[in-house]
Amino acid sequence: MQRRDFFKKAALTVGAVGLGATTAKAGTTHQPTDNRKVSKNTFPEKRPLITYSDRPPLLETPRDVFTSVLTPNDQFFVRWHLPDIPMHIDPNTYHIKINGLVEKELDITLHDLKTNFEQVEVTAVLQCGGNSRSAFSPIAGGIQWGNGAMGCATWKGVRLRDILDRAGLKKDAEWIGFNGSEKAAYYETPSFIREMEIEELDDHVILAYEMNGEDLPYLNGYPLRLVIPGNYSDSWVKMLSNITVTKKYKSLFFMDVAYRVPDNECECEEPEKKFKTTKPITKMNVKSIIGYPTTGMTLNHNSHTVIRGLAWDDGHGIKDVMVSVDKGKTWKKAILDDGKLGRYAYRAFRFPFKPSKYGELSIMTKAINKLGEEQPFAKDIKWNHGGYKFNGIDEVKVKVV
Ligand SMILES: Nc1nc2c(c(=O)[nH]1)N[C@H]1C(S)=C(S)[C@@H](COP(=O)(O)O)O[C@H]1N2
Ligand SMILES: [Mo]
């Protein structure tokens, strides 16, 4: 054994018998930060939101918005990586290029897109892979989101498949790269580019120009963005400038470093022992959020109230939402809405209830999908260095008076 390894092993043994003041701290998880106040400063087309930064804009949706299946555009969260977002986009001259390994390069204007292709709609949840990251302890690198780095909208646009068919893929085409229009403040910072394997493509992937019946808000990617229902939104590239088809996967910062979890079964690791291999985050796991009541509210003793919220997964569909008012000892089924917005949308739930005890009351919700997958307790979620994919059972605390 090498000397270095020996010391490592010795430290571990000491830790195991409980003497180790110097041993590494295990990664733990808990409920994410809740009820941060919205900021008074507003951004164009946005109502006051929880603000982490104004350049680039990083805005979170407050919890009480999550009683409605469609998130209003002006309350939809915002995440940009790079500070230099173009100040002005002219819809008359804007166009998107399709190049690389295609038979015919395309240059498509917004007008072309809206008139020369089949128009389709999909309602889908957009959730950042780092949503709820403030649940991780020690702190996982990145924005310390509460639960509101997400929303759901009806997206309208054109199938990516139809556009690629029009261009014609060459035989050895395997990867598609999507480029955003914004620039880094320093030239060393890479542009925001994501890549996708052509095999992963299905008919639900669209280039969307409309969100809930209106043009995309500027901060949500006007005039055109990628929509990949069921997947975390980190790949839903906004303000698209071009799509490039390649044979080889290009090694790119935003694909190789960010938005990855350990490539092991638990997708977990210890803070001081990074797992060597990683994989990209793609499909969303099952999760729920309570929109009403919110932490800090008071409810009246013995009077009727209706607990309301939303549940979603990657498109397998929600089977049940369970509610507990005794800290998770017993659970009862909530009533689900009809689900008519489709399998990628939020499912709304409600749970009529009469608080029978005075004092502090914990309300928890747990979603279960059609595969039988369910949310674990927050404390049972395993740590990862990026703070991705947190889906702990949700909890709010109110007072009964
Ligand atoms: N061009 C561009 N697209 C982007 C990003 C970005 O920084 N630039 N961030 C991605 C990430 S990490 C997320 S979570 C979503 C956020 O979408 P939203 O701002 O519309 O809520 O956009 C994705 N698309
Ligand atoms: Mo994200």
pLDDT of residue 78: 97
CB burial class (10 A; 0-12, 13-18, 19+) of residue 130?
buried
Query: What does DSSP assign to residue 92?
Result: T
Which ligand sits nearest to residue 82's alpha carbon?
1
Per-residue pLDDT tens digits for 22-50: 456 789 999 999 979 999 888 999 999 99
- The single-letter code of the amino acid at 364 is M
Ligand 1 pocket check for 233: Cβ under 6 Å: yes
How far, in Å, is the centroid of ligand 2 from the Cα of 49? 17
Output the pTM of the full model.
Answer: 0.92
Q: Whose CA is nearest to atom 23 of ligand 1?
A: 234
Which ligand sits nearest to residue 58's alpha carbon?
1
User: What band does 16 get if pLDDT is binned at 50, 70 and 90?
Assistant: very low
Place of tokens 């946005």: 46
Residue 168 or 257, more confident? 168
Tell me which fold the domain 95-129+148-280 belongs to. Sulfite Oxidase; Chain A, domain 2 (3.90.420)
**Do the two domains 95-129+148-280 and 287-400 of this chain adopt the same fold?**
no
185, pLDDT greater than 90: no
Mean pLDDT of the chain: 91
C-alpha distances out from residue 101 to 105, 176, 255, Å: 9, 9, 20
**What ranges do the domains of the chain cover?**
95-129+148-280, 287-400
Of the CA atoms within 13 Å of residue 113, those in its CB half-sphere come to 29
Task: Report the atom number in ligand 1 closest to the C-alpha of 76.
Answer: 21
- Lowest mean pLDDT across 94-98, 199-203, 334-338, 354-358: 199-203
Ligand 1 pocket check for 182: Cβ under 6 Å: yes
State whether residue 20 is helix, strand or coil.
Answer: coil
Task: Report the atom number in ligand 1 closest to the C-alpha of 219.
Answer: 19
C-alpha distances out from residue 370 to 199, 344, 346, Å: 25, 13, 14
Task: Report the atom number in ligand 1 closest to the C-alpha of 79.
Answer: 19
How far, in Å, is the centroid of ligand 2 from the Cα of 79? 6
How far, in Å, is the centroid of ligand 1 from the Cα of 320? 30
pLDDT of residue 4: 40
Alpha-carbon distance 45 to 217, whole Å?
7
Cβ contact 366:374 at 8 Å? yes
9, pLDDT greater than 70: no
Tell me which fold the domain 287-400 belongs to. Immunoglobulin-like (2.60.40)
